Amino acid sequence: MSISASVLNFDLKKTAVSNRLKGLWRMMSGFRWHYLGATLSLGVAALAKTSTYLLLSYFVDHYFGNGTRPVALPLIALGFVGLAMVEGGFSFLSGRLTAQTAEGITRRLRNYLFDHIQHLTYTYHDKTQTGELIQRCTSDVDAVRRFFADQAIGVGRIILLFTINFVAILNLHPRLGLVSIIAVPFVVVTSAFFFRRVSKAYQAFQEQDAILTTTLQENLSGVRVVKAFARQAFEKEKFERENWEKFLRGKKLTRMHSLFWPASDILCGAQLMVGYIVGALMVIHGEITIGTFLAYLGLVGWIIWPMRNLGRLIVQTSTGMVSFGRVSDIIKQEREPLDEGETLPAADLRGELTFENVGFHYEEGSPVLQEISFHCRPGQAVALLGSTGSGKTTLVNLLPRFYEYTSGRILLDGVELKRYSRRYLRQQIGIVEQEPFLFSRTIKENITYGVGRDVPQAEIEAAAKAAAIHDVILAFPDGYDTLVGEKGVTLSGGQKQRVAIARTLLKNPRILILDDSTSSVDTETEAEIRDALDTLMRNRTTFIIAHRIQSIMNADLILVLDKGRVVQRGVHEELVAQDGIYRQIYEIQTRIEAELEKEITNAS
Ligand code: DGT
Ligand code: MG
């Protein structure tokens, strides 16, 4: 059976309900026929097995007992072989269907989670640790897979085996039937007793596992910092502490299991014993035949099996449910609606922006931006200057609606920003981030990331030239096909920034945001990039954040931010004429440059 697209696209959001069993049931949507088929196959296999014991009883009684032999020996032999084949064949079929169900559900779940996580809000990602997400998407998803591979099908198996064999024994002799189930209530009570405890122990274990994953992940990302500060011993100790805690919690979990198994073994063993004794006595008293007794011995094993497994099932289901809950926590998160809102043809967007008393806070009570008001006409360049933490990045992050402003209004071409769809805004706005991220792919793939692979090489190179990175790329062994990152070349901060600039330029956005994009390049390269950008900035609204006055002095509007407020505004000449932060920065920077120049001339 193949899995159709509609099954794969089932919206798993529906599974994030407070009743976890209901959620798991919904998770099976699209796979229930597989599951039913697997259960029915199991039923046929179980019937065949039970019939084998009944045939054995018949065979023994008629060939070794009173001597009447109504069925020929070859036929009986054929019966044994036939039953074995039916049992084997259907067991196999059931196993396959179960595996398909479990793998299918898990595959769908993984795909969904991957997609879902990418659609969650900035705020969610700010608050959530990567290691935690990784752990839930791997270890917990695997526990859910185990639930569908073992426990979900286990319910059907247990009920079938138990019912079929119990009815068969009842038919042999009612008293044997009753004797074979005396332990059932005890097993159920013991399992229920352990269910909650294992559940809790497992939850604690998974939580600690997530902490450990986070510690490891963070340590790997920050390995350079660790080395630079020679803090290996500190980090090692921290890791060992968390690892020890995981060990303790794991031990507790294993202890639960190791207490549970002997308890259920004793119960089942006692039950078998009673059954054997009662059966043997019945044979001695002539109440049943030897054949019946032999059949009983075989069948009772298949009553004990489901009983033992009922306990295992109940206990393991608790772990599956805990993990499912942890996965549900992610599924429950609201996605950022990308397409809600209006769009305009790209060509019609002019790029006129008005901020009216805009305010924003990440956390209630601590405003990051306050009463920001300004207006810029299509194609103008707005520069933001201000000390670190003054809210420059935050301000530009409002434009693509990464975050929603909390008061005031922003108008784009006269329409409130909140009315445009996020997807549309993000297509029209190009950002060169403060700390650009490049994927471990080729340089070419990185540059074409926003536009797809089919861009002509000439355009890619034009963007690279504009970003003053073309020559650098040509110097690499494989040129544009050079791999970046772990498996390829390591780019310097400035090179990364320039690749990121090329990536954004190729996208040809109506609104361009350069967040400190030239901070890691030298003055000469900066001048080079600035020239290229000047041409590119023509005809598009641009936001430039920079610390060097040189980079922003040509802007149409300069906003000086301090603690989230605009403290000065105007063009370069006006601001230099005013007494204020701008002039201070300008004076410091020109003085430093003049001194540098003097030193260089003296030296040469
Ligand atoms: P920079 O890049 O160092 O020159 O500084 P700006 O001006 O780009 O500062 P910005 O906008 O990154 O941060 C402004 C304030 O907001 C600062 O106090 C840190 C805080 N902040 C930034 N991002 C977040 C965030 O994701 N969550 C919270 N709670 N606060 C944030
Ligand atoms: Mg910033």
What's the pLDDT tens digit per position in 132-177? 899 899 989 999 999 999 888 888 888 888 899 899 999 888 988 8
Task: Lowest mean pLDDT of 192-196, 211-215, 331-335, name the range.
Answer: 192-196
Name the pLDDT band for 262 (thresholds 50, 70, 90).
confident
Ligand 1 neighbours (beta carbon < 6 A): 126, 362-363, 368, 386, 388-394, 434
Above 90 in pLDDT, residue 397?
A: yes
Name the pLDDT band for 66 (thresholds 50, 70, 90).
low
Q: How many CB atoms are located within 10 Å of the residue 42 CB?
A: 25
Most confidently predicted of 132-136, 186-190, 374-378 = 374-378
Q: How many CB atoms are located within 10 Å of the residue 357 CB?
A: 12
CA-proximal residue: ligand 1, atom 4 (nearest): 388
Between the CA of 515 and the centroid of ligand 1 the distance, in Å, is 13
Question: Which residue among 360, 393, 515 has the greatest number of ligand 1 atoms within 8 angstroms of its CB, and so is best to mutate?
Answer: 393
Task: Determine the residue type at 573.
Answer: E
Which residues sit opposite 259 in a β-bridge?
none
Task: Report the topology of domain 353-603.
Answer: Rossmann fold (3.40.50)
Task: Determine the residue type at 502.
Answer: A
Between the CA of 404 and the centroid of ligand 1 the distance, in Å, is 15
Instruction: Tell which atom from ligand 1 comes closest to the C-alpha of 123.
Output: 26
Most confidently predicted of 202-216, 336-350, 480-494 = 202-216
User: What are the structural domain ranges in the chain?
Assistant: 27-331, 353-603
Above 70 in pLDDT, residue 535?
A: no
Q: What sign results for the dihedral spanned by CA atoms 94, 99, 100, 101? A: positive
Name the pLDDT band for 382 (thresholds 50, 70, 90).
very high
Same fold, 27-331 and 353-603: no
pLDDT given for residue 3 in this prediction: 61
CA-proximal residue: ligand 1, atom 19 (nearest): 389
Tokens of 262: 């002997």
Above 90 in pLDDT, residue 405?
A: yes
Query: Do 158 and 191 touch, CB atoms closer than 8 A?
Result: no
pLDDT given for residue 2 in this prediction: 56
Give the chain's mean pLDDT. Answer: 88
Which ligand neighbours the alpha carbon of 559 most closely? 1
Tokens of 303: 């009553």
Task: Lowest mean pLDDT of 468-477, 505-514, 530-539, name the range.
Answer: 530-539
Q: How far is CA 548 from CA 163, 512, 571, 587, in A?
A: 81, 19, 15, 11
CATH 1.20.1560.10, domain 27-331, yes or no: yes
Between the CA of 388 and the centroid of ligand 1 the distance, in Å, is 8
30 phi-psi bin (left φ>0, alpha ψ -120 to 50, beta other)? left
CA-proximal residue: ligand 1, atom 10 (nearest): 391
Q: What sign results for the dihedral spanned by CA atoms 186, 189, 193, 199? A: positive
* Residue tagged 């060992």 (tokens): 240
Instruction: Tell which atom from ligand 1 comes closest to the C-alpha of 122.
Output: 26
pLDDT given for residue 436 in this prediction: 86
Above 90 in pLDDT, residue 362?
A: yes
Between the CA of 340 and the centroid of ligand 2 the distance, in Å, is 28
